[in-house]
Structure 1
Amino acid sequence: MVVERTFVMIKPDGVKRGLIGEIISRFEKRGLKIVALKMVKMDVKTAEVLYEEHKGKGFFNDLINYITSGPVVCMVIEGEDVVQVIRRMIGNTDPKEAPPGTIRGDLALSKSENVIHASDSPEKAKREISIFFDSSNL
């Protein structure tokens, strides 16, 4: 059994719509462990670091404006093959393509307001965790 950690963030639309408990409950019911959690109002500099892979793409500025528009909930979640498990749980970026039963399939309103972000690899998880949490938080 390989226990991993990953980074998950409930985006401003999920916070605004009161979906924090619903989303956290899904992870806990799946047997995953939340090892760190905090709500933050992300500044532009932090958002640009988080989404640096998208810099130069047409949607980058809209993404930064959106992610800094309200509070987000950042989490470190632990479990067996947790990156892969959570990616399956959240579903496709576009909720029209996300199957029912996934977080985005059930809760997201649009491709741009899709409720949740989750690391897509163990390497990105380590990087993204380090943006919001230091070792004393874990």
Structure 2
Amino acid sequence: MERTFIALKPDTLQRGLVGDIINRFEKKGFQLLGLKLVQPPRELVEKHYEEHLGRPFYEGLVNYMTSGPIVASVWQGKNIISSSRSLLGATDPSKAAPGTIRGDLATQVGRNLVHASDSPVNAEREISLWFAAKEIQNWSRSLEPWINEEN
């Protein structure tokens, strides 16, 4: 099983879409392992987005991500990183397919509702930035055989 970090950005909370988005991840069959509402400090957001340092949008992104609370979460599932990014849709909502979170709900690139890890390496890095090991729950679902085939 693969793990990923998902952050519901300030616009998600302001627009009352937290439940809708979490519901889509649950309906997809992904397992929630960690969840918290946090007002992120600037230093954490800068560390999270450090690969974008120097790009024209960096300062606006950091200011936006620190402008209000976010929902930080850890999810698990088979191929969850690529699957969750498909579930989100293109970063630019105007290019996101209907049926995706951004295609259905987001308005513009700077208000695209959700961040999702883009690789296993970044997922582990992001999870460790936002969560202490004791905040991640390892639990078994009784529905697991109905969601994932054994291999």
Which residue does the alignment assign to 2:88? 90
Aligned to 2:104: 106
TM-score, structure 2 normalization:
0.89
Which residue does 1:54 correspond to in 2? 52
Q: Partners of 2:128 and 2:80 in 1: how far apart? A: 17
Superposed displacement of residue 134, structure 1: 1.3
Give, as a single letter, the amino acid of the residue that structure 1 aligns with 2:53.
K
Q: Please give the TM-score of this superposition, normalised by the length of structure 1.
A: 0.97
Looking at structure 2, the residues matched to 47 and 29 of structure 1 have their Cα atoms a distance apart, in angstroms, of 29
Alignment of 1:13-92 (within 5 A): 13-92=11-90
**CA separation in 2, counterparts of 1:92 and 1:45?**
27
Gaps of 5+ in 2: 137-151
List structure 1 runs of 4+ shifted beyond 4 angstroms. none
1:76 counterpart SS class = strand
Matched pairs, number: 136
Q: CA deviation at 1:137?
A: 1.1
Shift of 1:43: 1.1
Structure 1 position 96, deviation (Å)? 0.3
The residue that corresponds to 2:3 in the other structure is 5
How far residue 46 of structure 1 moved from its aligned partner, in angstroms, is 0.6
Aligned-pair identity in percent equals 49
Q: Which has the larger radius of gyration?
A: 2
The residue type paired with residue 74 of structure 1 is: A
RMSD: 0.5
Shift of 1:135: 1.0
